[in-house]
Amino acid sequence: PTTAQPQVPTTTARPTTTLVTSTTSSSAGPVVTTPPVTPTPGTCPNTPSGLGSPVANQLNDPFTFHNGNKVTSKADWACRQKEISELLQRYELGTLPPKPSSMTASFSGSTLSISVSEGGKSISFTVSINNRPSGAGPHPAIINFGTLGASLPVPAGVATINFNNDDIAQQQGGSSRGRGKFYDLYGSSHSAGALTAWAWGVSRIVDALELTQAQTGIDPTRLGVTGCSRNGKGAIVAGALEPRIALTLPQESGAGGSGCWRIATWQKSNGQNVQDSTQIVQENVWFSPNFNSYVNNVNQLPFDHHLLAGLIAPRALYVMENVDMEWLGKISTYGCMGIARKQWQALGALDNFGYSQVGGNSHCSFPTSQQGSELNAFIDKFLLRKSGGNTNIFRSTQTHSSFNLNNWSPWAVPTLN
Ligand code: MCU
C-alpha cells in the first residue's frame, strides 16, 4: 500500500521533466523481506505522557509497551514501533512532520529536482542520480548522505543518489540550529534536530522517486540509505523513520547512531574516552533541543538506540563499526546492536540484521574485510534481489568481555506471529 499521492500539476513544461501522479509496481522479482505491518489508524493504544520508570544498567524492554502491556504479536509490534517513534521524537529527535500537502518532482540529465510546499511556504532541492545501470530497469539505488559519493563501495547494478543533507539542515555546530531548507519551510524554531530534518528530506526523495519512476528507471521499493560518521547517524535515523527504505547501511555512526546512550555513559564512567549524551548536544545540532533536558540522566529515557534500530525491524539493517575508534563508543555500538538484534530475532528475521566491527582502517575508509561476504551479501539480497550469501551477521574483531549482553537485556524475547 502507498500513502496518498502528493498533488502535482497536470501539465508539464518539458518532456524531459515529466511530472507523474501515480506509481507503477516493480517487476524486479520476489520480495525478500516481509513488509512491515502498517497499523490501521486508531488500532494502537495512545502513547501515555510521561517518562515512566527509569531504566538503569540495562536497556529498555522492546516487548513491553509504555503502559506495561506486553507485545505478543506482529500487530502489537507495529503499534510498539509507532509508540517508540513517538517517544524518540518527543524526547530526543524532535517532531517529524507528516508528508507535505503538495510536492512536485522532475528529472533531467542526472538531476532529480524536488519542490515542496506547506502552509504557504515552498522550498526546492535537488539530488544527483549517478551510475544509473544501463538496461530497462527498474534498478535499485542507494541514497548517500553527502555530495561526495558513498564512502562504501556500491557494486554495479545499483545507482547512487547523492543527497546534500546539509542543505536541508546545517550541522556546523550550535550556531547552525534552525538553519537549512527544512527550517525555511517549518520555521527556525521547529523542534526537529538535523537528523530528523534529514530523514524528512530522505522521505521527500522517496516521494520524488515514486513520482518519476518512468523517467529515472529507479525502483522506489529497492532503496538503500548510507552515510558515514555524522552522516551515518543520519542514515540510521532515516532508515528508522522512513519505512520505504529497504536496506539501511550506517557506517561508523557511533554515539547518537548505532550506539546506546546508557552504554556510552557506562563506558565513560569506566574511564574511556567516549562521546556521550552530555558532550554530543554541545558539539552539534543533530538532536532536538528537547533532548537537552535528559542528557544528564539518560536512565530516565523510555528508549535507547536499540529501539531506534528496532524501528527498522524486520527490514534489513547492516551496521559497520570500527574497533579502533574509542570515541565512537565501540562497546556501546556492540552492546546496543547486539541487543537491538533481539528484535529481529523475535520477528524471525535474523537474516535481515548485520553488525560488523573491524579495525585497521581509518575512520570512514571502508575495510575490504566487510565487503564481499557482508556488504555485498546485503546489497545482493535486499537491493539486487539475487540469492546471496549469509546476512545473519553479528561480529567484532575484539572481545568486549567487560560487557554482558544478556545482563543488559534481562527481559524475555517473545516469538511474534
Ligand atoms: C562519528 O560522528 C562524529 C562524532 O559524533 C563527532 O564527535 C566527531 O566530531 O565527528 C564525527 C564525524 O562526523 O566525523 C566525520
pLDDT band at 38 (very low <50, low <70, confident <90, very high): confident
What pLDDT does 15 receive?
29
Task: For residue 147, report the phi and psi dihedrals to the nearest 5 degrees.
Answer: -95, -5
Ligand 1 centroid to Cα of residue 2, in Å, is 36
Query: Which entry of 115, 203, 229, 332 is annotated as an active-site residue?
Result: 229
Ligand 1 centroid to Cα of residue 88, in Å, is 21
The vertex-222 CA angle with 221 and 227, nearest 5°, equals 120
pTM, two decimals, is 0.92
Give the percent of the chain with pLDDT over 90. 88
Query: Which entry of 110, 122, 363, 373 is annotated as an active-site residue?
Result: 363
Average pLDDT over residues 276-292: 98
pLDDT digits (tens, 9 = 90+) for 172-200: 999 999 999 999 999 999 999 999 999 99
pLDDT over threshold 90, residue 6: no
Q: 242-280 b/e with 16+ CB inside 10 Å = b?
A: bbbbbbbbbbbbbbbbbbbbbbbbbbbeeebebbbbbeb
Ligand 1 centroid to Cα of residue 254, in Å, is 8
Average pLDDT over residues 5-24: 32
Whose Cα sits closest to atom 13 in ligand 1?
A: 230
What pLDDT does 150 receive?
96
Residue 346 CA to residue 19 CA, distance in Å, equals 42
Nearest CA among 93, 319, 301, 96 for reference residue 186 = 96
Map residue 151 onto helix, strand or coil.
Answer: coil
Who's near 268: CB < 8 A, 6+ residues apart? Answer: 274, 276
What pLDDT does 35 receive?
61
Q: Are 215 and 107 in contact (CB under 8 A)?
A: yes
pLDDT band at 44 (very low <50, low <70, confident <90, very high): very high
Residue 296 CA to residue 391 CA, distance in Å, equals 37
pLDDT over threshold 50, residue 292: yes
Phi/psi-derived region of residue 167, left when phi > 0, alpha when psi is between -120 and 50, beta in every other case: alpha
Nearest CA among 244, 344, 325, 303 for reference residue 31 = 244
The overall average pLDDT reported for the chain is 92
pLDDT over threshold 50, residue 21: no
**Interface predicted TM-score (ipTM):** 0.96
Residue 409 CA to residue 40 CA, distance in Å, equals 30
Who's near 350: CB < 8 A, 6+ residues apart? Answer: 341, 344, 392
pLDDT band at 42 (very low <50, low <70, confident <90, very high): confident
Map residue 126 onto helix, strand or coil.
Answer: strand
Tell me which of 229, 287, 321, 324 to substitute to probe ligand 1's pocket, judged by most ligand atoms within 8 Å of the beta carbon: 229
What pLDDT does 132 receive?
96
Ligand 1 centroid to Cα of residue 230, in Å, is 5
Task: For residue 79, report the phi and psi dihedrals to the nearest 5 degrees.
Answer: -70, -40
Clarify whether 229 is annotated catalytic: yes
Q: Are 395 and 382 in contact (CB under 8 A)?
A: no
Report the pocket of ligand 1 as residue ranges, CB < 6 Å: 229-230, 254-256, 275, 283, 328
pLDDT digits (tens, 9 = 90+) for 206-255: 999 999 999 999 999 999 999 999 999 999 999 999 999 999 999 999 99
Structure-block grid coordinates of residue 274: 567516549
Phi/psi-derived region of residue 131, left when phi > 0, alpha when psi is between -120 and 50, beta in every other case: left
